[in-house]
Every structure is written in C-alpha cells, then in structure tokens.
C-alpha cells in the first residue's frame, strides 16, 4: 500500500515538474528571500565603518582653518602627527579638542560593532538560514494553498480522474499521493530557498571579508527548527485546501474558500476574542500556525533540562490544533472524494 502511494507520488511529481505554477511560486519565494538578504547587505554596505571624522577648528597664522581627524587617527595616535603643523600657541587647544572626541569614537565603534553583528546575524551562515526562512514564512501558507487547490482542482477541470481511476488506482491512494507530492514540493521549495541563502551568504562573506560561517553554532539548530515548523505549518493547509477543492469540485472554488478561510481567521480573531472568549484563538488554525512560526524556540537555560520538553511546553497546543485540522480536513476530503461519482471534465 505504501509502495503504491509512493509510486503514485513519484508520478504526481513527474506532472508537477512540468507545470508552471510550482516554478513561479518558487521564484516568488526566492525573490522575497533574496530581497531580504541583499537589502540588509545594502544597508550594511552604506554604513561607514571608520569614517567618523571630526573637523577641529584651528587658528593658524591668523586664518580660521580646520584639521580633519578620524576616529582611527585618534585611536592609533596619527592625530598627534597632524597636530605638528599647528602653531605652538594653538596646538594644546586643538589637542584637547581632538581628545574630547575619543569617547564619542568609542561609542561609535560600539555602534558599528553592534551593526556588524546584526549584519552577520542576518547575512552570514548559519544565522542567514534561519532569517532567510523567516523572511518567507508568512507567504508560504498562502502559496501552498494556491498550489494545492490548483493541482487538485485541475484534475476536476480536465476530467483526468476518469483515466486515472479506471486504471485501478484507489481513490484514497491517489488523494494521499497528491497530498504527499504537494508536501514534498513545498519542502523542496524551502530547501531550494535555503540553498540560495547559502550561496548568497557565501557571496556576502566574500564581499565583506567576514568569516564564511559565524561562531554562533546554535543558529544551525534554530534554522532546522524553523524549517521543521514551516513544514508542520503547511500540512493543515494542504489538508484544508484539498478538502475545499473536493467539496467544490473546483480549483477556483477551492482556492477562494481556502484563502477566504485563512484571511477570515486572521481578520476575525480580534473581534471573536472580545465577543466570545479570549481562548477562541486557541482553536483557530491561522492563530496557531502564526504562533508556531513566530515564537522563536528558546533552549532551556538551566543545565539538565530537556530540550524536547521545553519545545513541547512551548508548542504543544498549537501543534495539537494543527494536527487536528490536518486529520479532520484530510479525513473529510477523503470521505467526500471516495463517496462521490467521478465525473467528466468540468472546465472552468
């Protein structure tokens, strides 16, 4: 049975590879992700690293003039050599003026270091991986809804259930293979997005002279957790999208209701919480998915505490809700799909 589903999945992927839709969605994800990364790089690149320059007024030979001294000059003593050209009667005054900037230079150094750290966090591996996935996390559910409703609704539009089923393919196996192929395609999107992040991170490291991989090894785990959370978040949306498509027997109908449901939840969570109960949001799919995606996992502070226990404490309710939606919507889709007659092409 599993072998048959895997075989069907392989051939569903064969069809998916030849459609434009998955490639367009992938391109959208890569563009969004790369814009985020290179946008940060552009900000970094325009930040002066050591060009804080002070112009100190100096009265030389009866004419007002100025010397330009950078923080680097102040810190490495070069400023003293610049003072040599200033007449003796003004030198001490100017030296004191230059010295007064030393503290400010330290502050600027700290700000630049913090900015660089943020940049490294964002653009250099492994942090860039986590950030790259975070940049697309809000779009992925919507794009998965579009993909799932489109590829399943297409079968109704074209009437291709008939030739498939009349070859002895069981309906629930076909539905399962569709769901699996959509999940695998979505996983492949995220992997490809991650790969493009890796390539871009290497390019950024080369351009800036930073280390290719920063010292923050914990970010590898963070990236893996975000990847896993995104995959988990997609499953209920795949199930819900398939259910609405089967219900309406149409890709257009399916995508309208599934996206409507997604947006309805996001829009109505606030009034529903006020009208009914503050816990209403605990049972809504969008709220729980957003919670899972937005809450960063914080490893336990005290030694000996289980990472898994902390993980489940944080995510148990959202994961249960997402699991329930996946099972209920998947079962409802299968039940409807199995009991209905297979019709010819419906066209749209």
Partner 1 sequence: MAEDRYKDIVIATESLTKHYGRIVAVDGLSMAVPRGQIFGLLGPNGSGKTTTMGMLLGLVKPTSGRFRLLDAGISHREALRRTGAIVETPCFYPGLSGRDNLAYFQGISGKSNQAELNELLERVGLGDRANDRFRTYSQGMKQRLGLAYVLLGDPEVLFLDEPTNGMDPDGMAEIRELIRSLGTGGRTVLLSSHLLHEVEQVCDSVAILSRGRLVVQGRIDDLVHSLAGDRLRVRTTDNEKAIGILSELDWVGEVTAEDGTILVTAPAERSPELTVALGRSDVYVAELSAEQMSLEQYYFKVTGSGEGGTA
Query: Residue numbers of the site for partner 1 (CB under 8 A)?
Result: 4, 7-8, 10-11, 14-15, 18-19, 158-170, 339, 341-342, 344-345
- List of residues 6+ apart from 180 with CB closer than 8 A: 5, 9, 12
List % helix, strand, coil for the chain (3-state, nearest 5): 75, 5, 20
Distance in Å, CB of 164 to partner 1, minimum? 7
What span, in angstroms and rounded, lies between the C-alpha atoms of 139 and 221? 22
Verify cis geometry, omega within 30 degrees of 0, for the bond prior to 219: no
Q: Name the token pair of 280.
A: 């209403």
What span, in angstroms and rounded, lies between the C-alpha atoms of 134 and 132? 5
Nearer Cβ to partner 1 (218/345): 345
CA 280 to chain centre: 27
Distance in Å, CB of 339 to partner 1, minimum? 7
Q: Name the token pair of 210.
A: 């930073």
CB of 292 closer than 8 Å to CB of 232: yes
Coil/strand/helix, residue 16: helix
Bridge partners for 54 per DSSP:
69
Nearer Cβ to partner 1 (119/156): 156
What span, in angstroms and rounded, lies between the C-alpha atoms of 94 and 68? 11
Nearer Cβ to partner 1 (8/129): 8
What span, in angstroms and rounded, lies between the C-alpha atoms of 231 and 29? 15
Nearer Cβ to partner 1 (33/181): 181
Nearer Cβ to partner 1 (109/162): 162
What span, in angstroms and rounded, lies between the C-alpha atoms of 46 and 8? 52
Nearer Cβ to partner 1 (119/174): 174
What span, in angstroms and rounded, lies between the C-alpha atoms of 91 and 84? 8
Distance in Å, CB of 332 to partner 1, minimum? 18
Token match 């959202």: residue? 318
Distances (CA, A) of 80 to 49, 63, 85, 107: 22, 21, 10, 21
């Amino acid at each position: 049975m599993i072998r048959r589903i895997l075989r069907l999945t392989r051939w569903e992927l064969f069809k998916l590879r030849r459609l434009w839709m998955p490639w367009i969605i992938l391109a959208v994800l890569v563009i969004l992700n790369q814009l985020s990364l290179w946008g940060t790089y552009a900000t970094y690149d325009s930040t002066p690293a050591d060009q804080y320059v002070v112009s100190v007024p100096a009265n030389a030979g009866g004419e007002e003039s100025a010397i330009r001294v950078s923080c680097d000059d102040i810190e490495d003593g070069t400023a003293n050599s610049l003072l040599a050209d200033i007449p003796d009667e003004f030198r001490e005054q100017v030296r004191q003026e230059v010295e007064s900037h030393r503290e400010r230079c330290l502050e600027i150094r700290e700000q630049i270091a913090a900015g660089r750290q943020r940049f490294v966090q964002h653009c250099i591996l492994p942090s860039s991986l986590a950030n790259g996935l975070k940049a697309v996390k809000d779009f992925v559910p919507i794009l998965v809804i579009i993909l799932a409703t489109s590829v399943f609704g297409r079968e109704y539009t074209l009437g291709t259930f008939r030739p498939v089923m009349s070859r002895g393919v069981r309906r629930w196996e076909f539905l399962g293979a569709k769901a699996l192929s959509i999940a695998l395609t979505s996983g492949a999107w995220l992997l490809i997005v991650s790969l493009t992040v890796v390539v871009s991170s290497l390019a950024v490291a080369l351009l800036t002279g930073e280390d290719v991989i920063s010292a923050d090894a914990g970010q590898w785990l963070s990236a893996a957790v975000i990847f896993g959370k995104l995959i988990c978040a997609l499953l209920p949306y795949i199930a819900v999208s398939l259910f609405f498509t089967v219900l309406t027997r149409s890709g257009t109908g399916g995508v309208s209701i599934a996206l409507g449901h997604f947006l309805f939840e996001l829009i109505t969570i606030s009034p529903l919480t006020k009208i009914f109960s503050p816990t209403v949001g605990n049972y809504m799919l969008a709220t729980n998915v957003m919670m899972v995606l937005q809450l960063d996992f914080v490893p336990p502070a005290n030694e000996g505490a289980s990472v898994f226990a902390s993980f489940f404490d944080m995510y148990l309710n959202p994961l249960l809700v997402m699991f329930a939606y996946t099972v209920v919507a998947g079962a409802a889709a299968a039940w409807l799909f199995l009991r209905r007659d297979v019709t010819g092409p419906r066209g749209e």
